[in-house]
Amino acid sequence: MDTAQLAEISQLEEKVLAANLPSDLLEKAKGMIVRLDRIARLGGNYANDFDATSRYIGWITSLPWQKRSQDVLDLKHAEEVLNKNHYGLSGIKDKILEYLAVLKLTSTTGTNVANGSYGSYESNEKKFNRAPILALIGLVGTGKTTLAYSIAEAMGRKFERIPFGGIGDALFLRGQARAYADAEPGAIIKALARAGTKNPVILLDEIDRVAEEARATIMGVLVELLDPEQNARYTDHYIDYPFDLSEVLFIATGNNTTHISTAVLDRLEPLLMPSYSDEEKIKIGKDYVLPKIMRESNLPPNAISIGDSVWPKVVRPLGFDGGIRTLERTINNMVRKAAREIVSGQAQQIVINEQNVQQFLPA
């Protein structure tokens, strides 16, 4: 064995010992390193074995087996975050606050709710979080994804998003066995590695838009992911060792429930996202979207003014749209045109009124 190989193997040993791995997975990793050391000494195909072993050890040591973030389960704080980021949606917000209240109760091992304190009791029975998993269902642009972001922000948890649109193979979620060349973990394990905690918020985005030919197998994986009595021992094909997903807060979204299997729906609590009226869009445009885009464009608050009589044309430039994505694009376009005039020195403040609105609206 040459010096370089010895150094590589030593680095793998150090990485494994420094990680807080489960005991039997630690023994498995040590066995792989012993085998690699034997191959190096006997002159086998060291390069291929080192690559496979180091990639596997790299993944298992990057996973948050014991690391979790501290939850912020303050309902007043959560309400402030939701109101800051979203206008209206009072029914949806109430459901989310009720959901967080259940999480606060189930995150404790004993209760004395009357005086607001929580005691503890001994139990040998595994305690599952049986609060329903939220499924935000609604038209494109109604705020499903941003609402999921807000829930993560309100709880102080890491946020990861897994897009389901067009997925054609359950292995995208489940990973591929290490026997295959270029195998890697599935999207769930990758999301946990990116988050760095075992209790992030993971958004399963557009679960109704998976490829038809793979729908049955993907829905089967979702059943396991969303069932608290099954996901405590979720096994990715590549990692080949159970990972406890019971502390992950899954949130699903979809345009409708038609293509979501009954077994998956049984584990979800659908919340219907309403379409926005023109009046609501005007309020959102004035108080949320325009100030946000101006901040992002580094423009002072008084640089652009849009007259009240102009807003109906802003919110409906091309006809009805149930969401606010078109509104955001329209305002973004208007701000860019106004910013060009300000930067070029044509004006220090832009007032958009009925006389000049057409030059700022998208063509």
Residue pLDDT, tens place only, 139-195: 888 889 999 999 999 999 999 999 999 899 999 999 999 988 889 999 999 999 999
DSSP 3-state assignment of 173? helix
Residue pLDDT, tens place only, 296-319: 999 998 899 999 999 998 987 655
CATH 3.40.50.10470, applies to 278-360: no
**Two structure tokens written together for 88:** 């209206």
Specify the pLDDT at position 45.
80
Residue pLDDT, tens place only, 266-301: 999 999 988 888 898 899 999 999 999 999 999 998
CB count, 10 Å around CB of 346? 10
Average pLDDT over residues 58-67: 96
CATH assignment, 75-113+127-272: 3.40.50.300
Average pLDDT over residues 116-127: 41
Q: Is 291 left (phi over 0), alpha (psi -120 to 50) or beta?
A: alpha
**Two structure tokens written together for 113:** 């709710």
Among 105, 132, 136, CA closest to 119: 105
User: In the chain, count of helices (H) and strands (E)?
Assistant: 15, 9
Where b means 16+ CB within 10 Å and e means fewer, 234-263 reads bebbbbebebebbbbbbbbbbbebeebbee
What sign results for the dihedral spanned by CA atoms 94, 99, 104, 108? positive
Under 8 Å between Cβ of 236 and 62: no
On the question of pLDDT at 106 being above 90, the answer is: no
